[in-house]
Amino acid sequence: MSAYIPVIGLEVHAELLTKSKVFCTCSAEFGGGKNSRCCPVCSGMPGTLPVINQTAVEYAVKAGFAMGCDINKFSVFDRKNYFYPDLPKAYQISQLNLPLCINGLVPIEYEEDGVKKTKNIRINRIHLEEDAGKLIHDDLNGVSLADYNRCGVPLIEIVTEPDMSSAAEAKAFVEKVSLLLQYAGVCDCKMEQGSIRADVNVSIMKPTDTELGTRTEMKNLNSIKAIGRAIDFEIYRQGKLLDMGKKVIQETRRFDDNRGETKAMRSKENAHDYRYFPEPDILQVNFTDEQLDAIKNSLPELPAQRIIRYTSEYGLSENDAKILVANKILSDFFDAAVKAYNNPKSICNFINGELMRRINLGEITLENLPFTAEQLAKLVEMADTEKVSKNDAKDVFRVMSEKGGDPEAIAKEKGLLISNDLGKVAEVIDKVLSENEKAVEQYKGGDMKVFGFIMGQCTKALKGVCTPKVIKEELEKKLKS
């Protein structure tokens, strides 16, 4: 197979976290009994009209700012006409010529052949549209059941320029976009619930070619893994075709996750003539500079800013900062912990160490931690101030991970709490020494090795009373006297 350069463009669809749907007042929440979140508007009843949701527009603009876009101060909605049973109006309200956001840029970092690389992916546009319903296939009866709960959930479509040239880049892009949308607070990006999904366009060309090859499109890929596999398969398939002197046909292909292959959809479905025209039921949306500034200023801290805060303000290593920021829940948890105990490095070490270890073991999940950030902060503080030993802190954390709870209470219950009561220390050491006269004599006779044994006896007897450091100091004093 000769060498081809893949050319990849993405259309990422992300559902916005508004309370109500984009054109009616039904709840936009995921789930619910079939057709229980519907009204005459979103179920496409005759005579009903869409009324656009301000927050959906704001969120789309926020996404635009997060991806470095320019905002059209005059934006128009259009109808995209096609018949499909999940689309009750038989048209989708979308945007064609004057979308809300244009000309963005998303930097990505990824690893290829063990080398870390970076690249900037250009965003052509971000527009606001409505999601379609769901079809549940009933193979037994040969019918589908249409559920319109998802109809009208606000959706943004992020369209890239064909700037990617490998599955790794495309995957990194989708991950980065997910992160940006989560930080912007406009999408939860739960791929398993379909709140973010992607269409992928792939073509290949020879390095000497001046024109792009014929592209194919894979729609509705709903996992990062599927995106990568579909791209890899398509690059392979198209390469094989060209190698055999055949042509790539421009078409929409379905990715079969089980077989890891793409398959052509029936050609009739490909011949789409969407007959776009300006949506007469929705008046064009205008923005003042003040309104755009206000949206921009309401944008929460984005990943790049957060990494800078962690490294420059908190003194974390860039690697640690990136690990934290790469997961918004983790990063937010870290921030909350730092707020409770202002020792970012120490908290970072504990999170990236113990917490991540237990998550990776599958014992706990970030989404459902049995303890609060404040409780974790307290545990780290206790270890730092030697209220528990570093080793015992891990024990306490194990209990917190299993059943939650206050670290101090757990340490106390397990007798791991260190009180540093010097009177008691002296008393116990005296007792240990009197019980081990022989060893004491050996020590005083110059056998330094026996110190370890005595120290061990003291530590055992003083568990939860004081730290080894104090025991050592006190013991040395006693032995010298």
Partner 1 sequence: MDLDMVRYLSQLGRLSFTDEELEKMAGDMTGIIEIMDTIKEIDVTYDPIKDNHNVYLNDLRKDIAADSYPTAQILQNAVNSEDAFVVPKVVE
Partner 2 sequence: MDLTALKISDLRSMLDKKELSAKELTDAYLDRIKAVDDKLESYITVTAEAAEKAAEKAQEKINKGEASALCGIPLAIKDNICTDGVKTTCSSKMLENFVPFYNATVMDKLENEGAVMLGKVSMDEFAMGGSTQTSAFKKTKNPYDLTRVPGGSSGGSAAAVSASLCAAALGSDTGGSIRQPSSFCGVTGLKPTYGRVSRYGLVAFASSLDQIGPIAKSAEDCAVILNAIAGYDPHDGTSSKNEVPDFTAKIGRDIKGMKIAVPKEFYAEGIDDEVRKAVLAAADYYKSLGAELVDCSMPSLKYAVAAYYLISSAEASSNLSRFDGIKYGHRSEEGENFAELISNSRREGFGEEVKRRIMLGNYALSSGYYDAYYGKAMALKQKIREEYENIFTGCDVILTPTAPTVAYGVNENISDPAKMYQADICTVTVNIASLPGISTTCGYDSKGMPIGMSIIGKKWDEATIIQAADAFEKNFTRQNASL
Nearest partner of 9 among 157, 165, 114, judged by Cα: 165
Is residue 45 a contact residue for partner 2 (CB under 8 A)?
Answer: yes
- Angle, to 10 degrees, between the axis of helix 450-461 and the axis of helix 437-444? 140
Q: In the complex, what is the shortest distance from the CB of residue 47 to partner 2, in angstroms, rounded to a whole number? A: 4
Concatenating the DSSP letter of every residue in 132-160 gives --EEEEETTTTEEEEE-TTTT-EEEEEEE
User: Residue 309 contacts by C-beta under 8 Å, 6 or more apart in sequence?
Assistant: 301
Taking the complex as a whole, how short is the minimal distance between the CB of residue 66 and partner 2, in angstroms? Answer: 27
* Residue with smaller CB distance to partner 1, 58 or 392: 58
How far apart CA 233 and CA 256 sit, in angstroms, is 11
Among 19, 90, 293, 431, binds partner 2 (CB under 8 A): 90
Please give the Cα distance from 20 to 22 (Å, whole number): 7
List of residues contacting partner 1 (CB under 8 A): 18-20, 25-28, 33-40, 43, 51-58, 74, 76, 83-85, 97-98, 135-137, 142-148, 254, 265-266, 269, 273, 275, 278, 283-288, 291
**Residue pair 402/372 in contact by the 8 Å Cβ criterion:** no
Token output for 368: 């459902």
Binding partner 2 (rule: CB under 8 A), the pick from 19, 31, 36, 51 is 51
Number of Cβ within 10 Å of residue 219's Cβ equals 16
Rounded CA gap, 212 and 17, in Å? 37
End-to-end CA distance of the chain: 84
Please, which of residues 59-88 interact with partner 2 by CB under 8 A?
A: 79, 81, 83, 85, 88
**In angstroms, what is the minimal distance from the CB of 102 to partner 1?**
15
The 10 Å Cβ neighbour count of residue 355 is 22
Task: Check: CB of residue 425 under 8 Å from CB of residue 470.
Answer: yes
Among 225, 240, 275, 431, binds partner 2 (CB under 8 A): 275
For the bound state, the minimum distance from the C-beta of residue 181 to partner 1, rounded and expressed in Å, comes to: 17
Q: Which is nearer to partner 1, 55 or 165 (CB)?
A: 55
Q: How far is the CB of 226 from partner 1 (least distance, A)?
A: 18
Q: Cβ 153 to partner 1, closest distance in Å?
A: 12
Q: 212 or 283, CB closer to partner 2?
A: 283
285 binds, among partner 2, partner 1, none (CB under 5 to 8 A by kind): partner 1
Instruction: Please report whether residue 91 would count as binding partner 2 according to CB under 8 A.
Output: yes
Could you tell me which stretch among 241-249, 271-279, 309-317, 439-447 binds partner 2 (CB under 8 A)? 271-279
Comparing C-alpha atoms, which of 153, 174, 185 is closest to residue 42? 153
- Write the DSSP assignment of 251-293 as a string of letters: EEEEEETTTTEEEEPPHHHH------EE-TTSPPEE--HHHHH
Query: In the structure encoding, which two tokens stand for residue 308, read together?
Result: 């800078």
CA distance 425 to 470: 9
- Mapping DSSP to helix (H, G, I), strand (E, B) and coil, where does residue 336 land? helix
Question: From residue 101, how far is each of 9, 47, 188, 279 by CA, in Å?
Answer: 18, 31, 20, 18
CA dihedral 153, 157, 158, 161 (to 10 degrees): 170
User: Using CB distances below 5 to 8 A depending on partner kind, what does residue 254 bind out of partner 2, partner 1, none?
Assistant: partner 1
Residue among 105, 249, 264, 283 that touches partner 2 (CB under 8 A)? 283
CA distance 100 to 221: 24
Look at residue 36 and give the partner it binds from partner 2, partner 1, none, a contact being a CB closer than 5 to 8 Å depending on partner kind. Answer: partner 1
Contact partner at residue 286 from partner 2, partner 1, none, CB < 5 to 8 Å by partner kind: partner 1
**Contact partner at residue 48 from partner 1, partner 2, none, CB < 5 to 8 Å by partner kind:** partner 2
- Min CB(161)–partner 1 separation in Å: 24
Residue window 102-141: x/- pattern of binding to partner 2, with contact defined by CB under 8 A: ----------------------------------------
Residue 19 interacts with, from partner 2, partner 1, none (CB under 5-8 Å by kind):
partner 1
Contact call for residue 183 and partner 2 (CB under 8 A): no
Q: How far is the CB of 86 from partner 2 (least distance, A)?
A: 11
Binding partner of 114, given partner 1, partner 2, none, CB within 5-8 angstroms per partner class: none
Residue among 280 and 362 whose Cβ is closer to partner 2? 280
The H or E element that residue 110 is part of is: strand 101-112
Please choose which of partner 1, partner 2, none residue 281 contacts, taking the beta carbon within 5 to 8 angstroms, the exact cut-off set by kind: partner 2
- Taking the complex as a whole, the smallest distance from the CB of residue 34 to partner 2 amounts, in Å, to 14
Contacts to partner 2 by CB under 8 A: 40, 43-52, 79, 81, 83, 85, 88-91, 144, 146, 273, 275-278, 280-283
